[in-house]
Amino acid sequence: MKAEVPKKKITLRGLKNAFKLYRYIQPHKLEFGVGLFFLFGGSLASLAFPKLLGDLVNSGTQGNLAESINRIALLLVVILVIQSVFSYFRTILFVNVTEKSLANLRQDTYNHLIRLPLKFFEQRRVGELNSRISADISLLQDTLTSTLAEFLRQMIIIIGGISLLVYTSLELTLFMLAILPAIVLMVFFFGRFIRRYSKQMQKEVAESNTVVEETLQGIRSVKTFTNEFLEMARYRNKTLEIAKLGMKGGRYRAAFYSFVILGLFGALVAVIWKGTGLLAEGILDSGELFAFVLYSGFIGGNIGGLASVITRIQRFIGATEDLFEIFDVGEEEIEEIKELCKKDELSGKISLNNLSFTYPSRPEEEVLHEINVQISENQLIALVGPSGAGKSTLTSLLLRLHDPSTGEIWYDGKRSQDISLSVLRRQIALVPQDIFLFGGTIRENISYGKPGATDREIYEAAGKANAMEFIDRFPEKLDTVVGERGTQLSGGQRQRVAIARAVLKDPKILILDEATSSLDSESERLVQDALEKLMSGRTSIVIAHRLSTIRKADQILVLDQGRLVEKGTHEELLQLKTGIYRNLSELQFSL
């Protein structure tokens, strides 16, 4: 059974989050203030409209001169012109302020997201985060552009209209107010009731968008496993759930609108009935009754629309609360580095002291346990062990994508926490097994290792990575578009682009995560040759399942269930009669 979506009430925290948006509006407060002036002016002008229409009716019934009638008609035209001009400028100013404010909010949200630690992204789906920066901010856009203005306009008309009604006829106003509050209360509570369904609809739509995003990102897997119909069924089920919720919510909204129409028109009939009695008694004249009915219609219509506006404001507050939850997560302390200072340069010496690690989401499972290793500069270190032994986790700790639960990592005699995160990562390059390439050109993907690199530097890096062998075969050369995630290139070609990117970065420490697995013999030869060039003269840490590639390693570290169980050179480890490395070696080389 699907869990019920929790209601988002207007809470103090929600209001505080909504008011945080003010700092984005503040730089444009002059434009916003002028927009509010036009809003108030237009709303007040509309309040004069029923009064002048009543005066026009009185002028006709009392036999006034045509000059008086024409004067009132001219005033009505002036009011209409003022309303339209004020509405035009109010809309333009509010849209301008909203667009500029939300552009800054989008930038701040994205900048904050990209600064968050990796553990944040491991606990959330891409579709959910994408929804925050697109759907939620679009909802804010609608609210700031029109909903708040509509709310203020309606409140001005309701308050101002009731004041003018009291001035016109206190007795008839009290009669009307005896009817309207009950209708208003029912409208308010009915609106709160149906709001739950619109909120649940939002969540279901976001989940359906996640299905689409995941399917399209993994389209290769979908097709190779022939699961097109599975994905179609998954999306169909999700859209049918949305449709069911939409139809159920539609029935409630239909009942809501029907009630509003019945209640408001019923109240209007009652007011006219009472006003006609007062007209017969000579307490009101026909123009005042006509104006009173128009004001009542104005007030009733705006009260009816108020429930919808309040619902949108509640959704707006809910969206700001969801959005600003992201801002409550602490950022990594990163900085822009254009060139490393001499004092920040590392030689590649690494020390792991009693290193242990547990993922926050799985506190009962220790992934690494008291690892102690000393690595000299320019050494080749190999990590070996079965899947799940903790090899990739260890490399993520070296990059400080995670911090150790206990123990420390030292670089050149400095604790990793005492080195600027950006300075540290600037000097470490990772070539993973599953290469991610951006959807642009080969040139753009290689230069990602050193933004602003010259063409000569890019060509040299591509040459060292043995990538020019295939790049020269493409008509567009380096300007060849690689497609989404690099799908236009083969696995070996993607690996060599990634190696070229690492060459361009020129790191002091190189991490290779099974970089030659899943390649054919020719591609593996080219990639391995490129890797050997890349590893020369720097500290290299290699995760490898193929032991033939690490025989020359200065140290081989064998991990099993998060523990360092063996350590030594290829020859030293072969001397261990019951060692894991020896068993793996015999198994591979006997094939």
Residue 64 has pLDDT above 70, yes or no: no
pLDDT of residue 1: 32
Ranked by mean pLDDT, which of 142-156, 212-226, 240-254, 438-452 comes out on top? Answer: 438-452
Contacts of 50 (CB under 8 A, 6+ apart): 164, 290, 291, 294, 295, 298
Separation CA 165–CA 84 (nearest Å): 25
pLDDT of residue 58: 63
53-57: average pLDDT: 69
- Number of residues that this document lists for the chain: 591
Q: How many domains does the chain have?
A: 1
Contacts of 368 (CB under 8 A, 6+ apart): 355, 356, 357, 390, 393, 394, 397, 404, 562
In a domain, 373, yes or no: no
In a domain, 519, yes or no: no
In a domain, 515, yes or no: no
In a domain, 31, yes or no: yes
In a domain, 444, yes or no: no
In a domain, 522, yes or no: no
Residue 550 has pLDDT above 60, yes or no: yes
Pick the residue with more confidence: 250 or 566? Answer: 566
Backbone torsions φ then ψ of 410, nearest 5 degrees = -120, 140
Separation CA 13–CA 520 (nearest Å): 57
Residue 14 has pLDDT above 60, yes or no: no
Quickly state the pLDDT bin for 589 (edges 50, 70, 90): low
311-329: average pLDDT: 72
Residue 353 has pLDDT above 60, yes or no: yes
Separation CA 572–CA 575 (nearest Å): 5
Lowest mean per-residue pLDDT among 85-94, 106-115, 250-259, 390-399:
250-259
Residue 533 has pLDDT above 80, yes or no: no
pLDDT of residue 4: 37
Residue 5 has pLDDT above 50, yes or no: no
In a domain, 377, yes or no: no
Quickly state the pLDDT bin for 529 (edges 50, 70, 90): confident
Contacts of 366 (CB under 8 A, 6+ apart): 356, 357, 358, 405, 562
Report whether 367 contacts 390 (CB < 8 A).
yes
Quickly state the pLDDT bin for 253 (edges 50, 70, 90): confident
Half-sphere exposure of 194 (CA within 13 A, CB side): 22
In a domain, 407, yes or no: no
Is the sign of the CA dihedral 557, 562, 564, 570 positive or negative? negative
State the distance between the two ends of the chain, measured CA to CA, in whole angstroms.
52
Per-residue model confidence as pLDDT tens digits over 86-141: 888 888 888 888 888 878 888 887 888 888 887 777 666 666 677 667 767 776 76
Pick the residue with more confidence: 555 or 243? Answer: 555
Q: Which residues are registered as beta bridge partners of 44?
A: none
152-180: average pLDDT: 77
Quickly state the pLDDT bin for 3 (edges 50, 70, 90): very low
The mean pLDDT value of the chain amounts to 77
DSSP code for 578: T
505-524: average pLDDT: 72
Name the nearest CA neighbour of 177 among 167, 162, 189.
162
Query: What single letter denotes the amino acid at residue 77?
Result: V
438-451: average pLDDT: 84
Which two tokens mark 363?
């506190």
Name the nearest CA neighbour of 543 among 559, 532, 530.
559
Per-residue model confidence as pLDDT tens digits over 266-288: 777 777 787 777 777 777 777 77
pLDDT of residue 266: 76
Q: Tokens 């400095």 map to which residue?
A: 414
Separation CA 307–CA 263 (nearest Å): 14
pLDDT of residue 30: 87
pLDDT of residue 272: 77
Give the distance, in angstroms, between the CA of residue 587 and the centroid of all CA atoms in the same chain.
48
Global model pTM greater than 0.95: no
Half-sphere exposure of 196 (CA within 13 A, CB side): 10
Query: What CATH number is given to the structural domain containing 115?
Result: 1.20.1560.10
The domain in which residue 155 lies consists of 12-327
Reading across the β-sheet that carries 350-358, which strands appear in turn? 366-375, 350-358, 406-411, 414-415
pLDDT of residue 62: 55
Residue 2 has pLDDT above 50, yes or no: no
Name the nearest CA neighbour of 566 among 382, 399, 403.
382
